[in-house]
C-alpha cells in the first residue's frame, strides 16, 4: 500500500530511536495464521501503535533501514499515514504512549512531502560500531558494545580502514545471503577512534550491504590485535570472497545513527 495514497490521511516522517536488544530486527515477520510468533519487530510495535490512532485499521510503514536483530538505532527514519485530525505533537506523544513499554520511541514527527520515501530519498546513512576494549566486564554498556579484552591498536585499525574507503566490490564483506543486486558500494567514511577504553568505528555511505559494517568491524579487529596487516585487508577486499575476510562482529555494538536527506525533513523551519 502506498502511504501517500490514503485519502483523509497525512503522511508523517518519523525520527525514531530504539534498543535493538529485545527485537528480532526492524522488519515485521509475516507468518501464516496459527503459526506462533518467534519474536517482536520494531515495525510491528510501531504499526500496532499507529493502528490505535487509525480506528484499529492497519497502518503500513516504510523505514530507511532494515536493522537486524540486536542492532540499535538513534536516528532511524520511518514513514506512515494517520488521520488528518492529528497534529505533530499528538502523533509523537500518542505513538510513544501506545508503544510503551517497548524500548522504542518517536523523537520527532513532521508531515512528509508528496513522493518522499525514507529509504529511496536517503542520500547517506551513518552507523557507529562500538567496541569496549577492557578486561573488566561491561555493566553500564552491556548489550550496546562488543567487548574485546585483548588490547587493540586503534591506529593500525584506522590505517587499514583507509584501504576500504571508496568505490569497491565489497563481496568479501557482505553476508553470503545478501540479496543486493550488486556488491559494489561507495564507502564515503570509515573512521576508527579511541577514547579511553572505547573504540568507535564510524561508517558512512549512501547504502550498505547486508552485514557489511559488522564484517568490516570483525576484520578490523584482526588488525587491532596484530594478527592482520593493512595489506591483508586489501587482499581480502580484492579476493571478492566472503571467506577471505574476517568474522562477523556481533550486533550489540552497531547503531544506526543518522540518515541524511536533501532537503532534510527534520531541519528546523
Determine the average pLDDT of the residues in 129-136: 98
Indicate whether 133 and 81 sit together in one domain.
no
How high does pLDDT run on average in the chain? 95
In the three-class reduction of DSSP (H, G, I as helix; E, B as strand; rest coil), residue 237 is classed as helix
Whether pLDDT at 269 is above 60:
yes
Q: Are residues 130 and 237 in the same domain?
A: yes
The CA distance from 70 to 211, in Å, is 12
The answer to whether the beta carbons of residues 135 and 176 sit under 8 Å apart is: no
Residues 201, 95, single domain; the answer is: no
**CATH number assigned to the domain comprising residue 235:** 3.30.70.660
DSSP 8-class letter at 53: T
**Stretch 168-176: mean pLDDT, rounded?**
97
Q: Which three cell numbers stand for residue 231?
A: 595489506
Asked which of 66, 100, 121 is the last residue of a domain, the reply is: 121
- Stated pTM of the model: 0.94
Task: Please tell me whether residues 143 and 113 are part of one structural domain.
Answer: no
**Nine cell digits for residue 11:** 503522511
Per-residue confidence (pLDDT) for residue 29, from 0 to 100: 83
Q: Is residue 267 part of a domain?
A: no
The DSSP H or E segment spanning 222 is helix 212-224
Give domain status of residue 67, yes or no: yes
Let me know whether 147 and 111 are in one domain: no
The CA distances from residue 54 to 7, 28, 80, 85, 111, in Å, are 13, 19, 11, 11, 16
Helix, strand, coil shares of the chain, percent, nearest 5, are: 25, 30, 45
Claim to verify: residue 133 and residue 202 sit in the same structural domain: yes
133 and 253 in a single domain? The answer is yes
pLDDT digits (tens, 9 = 90+) for 190-242: 999 999 999 999 999 999 999 999 999 999 999 999 999 999 999 999 999 99
Task: Report angle CA 255, 151, 228 to the nearest 5 degrees.
Answer: 85
User: Residue 33: pLDDT above 70?
Assistant: no
Q: Tell me, yes or no, whether 262 lies in a domain.
A: no
Is the torsion defined by CA of 7, 9, 14, 17 positive or negative? negative
Which residues form the catalytic set?
Answer: 68
Same-domain check for residues 130 and 114: no
Final residue belonging to a domain, choices 121, 147, 170: 121
The total number of structural domains in the chain stands at 2
- Domain membership of residue 43 as a residue range: 3-121
Same-domain status, 97 and 137 = no
32 and 21 Cβ atoms separated by less than 8 Å: no
Name the β-bridge partners of 189.
204
Alpha helices in 9-58 (DSSP H): 42-52
pLDDT, one tens digit per residue, over 50-76 is 999 999 999 999 999 999 999 999 999
Cα separation, 242 vs 114, in Å, equals: 40
Write out pLDDT tens, residues 74-95. Answer: 999 999 999 998 999 999 999 9
**Alpha-helical regions (H) of 38-188:** 42-52, 88-99, 154-161
Q: Is residue 265 part of a domain?
A: no
CATH label of the domain that carries residue 81: 3.30.70.580
What pLDDT sits at residue 30? 74
Report CA torsion sign: 70, 76, 79, 85.
Answer: positive
The last residue of one of the domains, among 73, 88, 121, is 121
Radius of gyration of the CA atoms of the chain, in A: 20
Residues 47 and 129 occupy one common structural domain? no
In a domain, residue 266? The reply is no
Domain membership flag for residue 269: no
42 and 149 in a single domain? The answer is: no
Note whether 108 and 225 are same-domain residues.
no
Amino acid at each position: 500500500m502506498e502511504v501517500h495514497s490514503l485519502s483523509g490521511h497525512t503522511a508523517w516522517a518519523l525520527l525514531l530511536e530504539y534498543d535493538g536488544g529485545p527485537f528480532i530486527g526492524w522488519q515485521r515477520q509475516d507468518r501464516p495464521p496459527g503459526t506462533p510468533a518467534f519474536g517482536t519487530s520494531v515495525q510491528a510495535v510501531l504499526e500496532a501503535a499507529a493502528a490505535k490512532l487509525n480506528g484499529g485499521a492497519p497502518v503500513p510503514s516504510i523505514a530507511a533501514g532494515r536493522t537486524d536483530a540486536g542492532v540499535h538505532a538513534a536516528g532511524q527514519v520511518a514513514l506512515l499515514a494517520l488521520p488528518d485530525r492529528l497534529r505533530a505533537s499528538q502523533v509523537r506523544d500518542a505513538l510513544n504512549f501506545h508503544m510503551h513499554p517497548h524500548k522504542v520511541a518517536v523523537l520527532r514527527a513532521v508531515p512528509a512531502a508528496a513522493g518522499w520515501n525514507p529509504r529511496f530519498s536517503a542520500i547517506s546513512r551513518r552507523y557507529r560500531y562500538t567496541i569496549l576494549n577492557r578486561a573488566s566486564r561491561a555493566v553500564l554498556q552491556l548489550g550496546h558494545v562488543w567487548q574485546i579484552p585483548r588490547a587493540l591498536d586503534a591506529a593500525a585499525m584506522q590505517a587499514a580502514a583507509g584501504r576500504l574507503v571508496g568505490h569497491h566490490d565489497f563481496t568479501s564483506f557482505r553476508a553470503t545471503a545478501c540479496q543486493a543486486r550488486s556488491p559494489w558500494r561507495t564507502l564515503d567514511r570509515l573512521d576508527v577512534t579511541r577514547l579511553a577504553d572505547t573504540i568507535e568505528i564510524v561508517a558512512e555511505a549512501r547504502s550498505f550491504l547486508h552485514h557489511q559494517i559488522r564484517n568490516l568491524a570483525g576484520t578490523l579487529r584482526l588488525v587491532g590485535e596484530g594478527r592482520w596487516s593493512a595489506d591483508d585487508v586489501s587482499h581480502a577486499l580484492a579476493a571478492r570472497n566472503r571467506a577471505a575476510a574476517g568474522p562477523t562482529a556481533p550486533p550489540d555494538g552497531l547503531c544506526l545513527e543518522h540518515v541524511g536527506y536533501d532537503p532534510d525533513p527534520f531541519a528546523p523551519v
